[in-house]
Structure 1
């Protein structure tokens, strides 16, 4: 049986123990910086001034050794810049003479690998993975040509996914730019409490549910029933405070978010782009877990649009977001293709 240690060179090591800052010499790669598709997130970055001898190099794969995301992996991409990996991660250096590194990246996204990681970590005394157990991770034995074929197919799907995501980002930024430019025309000052009511729901996963439940990190689970709100902005109240979500589909709200009920129709995108101009992390109430209370949000100053301004803005914003909705459906379909490909090749 082929094991991870058989396709690596050098000695694996643990990451750098430090506290990330908002600015510094190197980006600090943490468990929470890895997205579900094994990519480095662009938002909420932290930095360190010293590398601690833990700068990632090409063909390095870092693996979460503990926590709720134990086993999550990231293959270093030089396009992500210089990265120092954190202490709850373990680094292995893949040998390109023995394996196609991207093949291992994709294998570690498969259900087969995730089941192995879950079983192995839960069987340990500290409910985690270490260098010894990860070194014995079983690896599929395929020819180099077959590995390259799998990588080529999955790379093409990731490229298609990236195109959709870039188009979504460009459209959202276009609307934000229009909003910021036109906001200079606004004359009436007010507070956010004049625009919406904050609601909470505390929804949890329901078997057979198809309605997305939003928490501060995004969609977390699914419910059978939704709120009765047609258009809303999801605002974090604890946890990851930097995330905002505009929704115009049936949804449910989890324990870590507020959702808005607009006081006037067709103001959702105005509220969303108004809120994007606030740094919610600076509004942290200062408890152990980052959080914001409703009064803090209600008292934030804002401009109040008149009917003509709102009509002119909406004529630009809503068609753009209709296109964004279409792109998101394509994005979801590509993610389904990726999941199907992973299941087909790895089980």
Structure 2
């Protein structure tokens, strides 16, 4: 039976893929590339949405929030991950682990809520177009943004406190590449039923209910869209909503697989790769999905580049 450490530990060892050094070196290069692309892509969306008055709409307001959130989310994880992958030092300080756990949970929960609100925005725009400007007015958007960010960090605060109150095993070896609640709960030296139950409730609130609302919103959108007589209009709406649905499927699909599935030795190894997907790959794909499938965004980016070239020639 593992010994319990009731004192505050100096830090934790993030095992990650330490048993596969060749894989770690490959991941170091790949993750660094993805991180650079994430920063470039999401920063571009924020700048284009801000600089082009034509994009000062609720949809791009929420998209800018999503891009900013993805930048914060990856920055809270990837630098530490790259440091651990680059050498034999796999440690993270106790305070650093607390901060990372809370920030990652908070930003992840905020993204779940934000993606749900983005679906609601599309629902209002398509199903209630005459009331859209009245409902989604600028003041309400700012208030909604505050609610999204605050509510995203409330639940994770409780989860973080409960997790770090658990007496831990003396080895402090975390089976993962970042401080996540499931991995930290597994190294507890006491019964964790209560904390696991709380995590399950939080998972339902943030990971199960939002996709249900999103599917309900798109059910209404699909019904309204199919009633349209113009096939061109239908395809345009499907294209606009398709980008958001792809992002939702990528994000929630991997999150559900990590937090909802039953845990055993096989799924623990699988969870590492799934966690890599939603922490590294998805934030990189989001701006690509929205820009490549969005004529307004591509047009705005082209106009800004053309105006920049023209100003240089003057």
TM range (shorter): under 0.3
User: Which of the pair has the greater relative contact order for Cα pairs under 8 Å at 6+ separation?
Assistant: 2
Kindly indicate which of the two structures has a greater share of residues assigned to strand.
Answer: 1
- TM-score normalised to structure 2 length: 0.26
- TM-score normalised to structure 1 length: 0.24
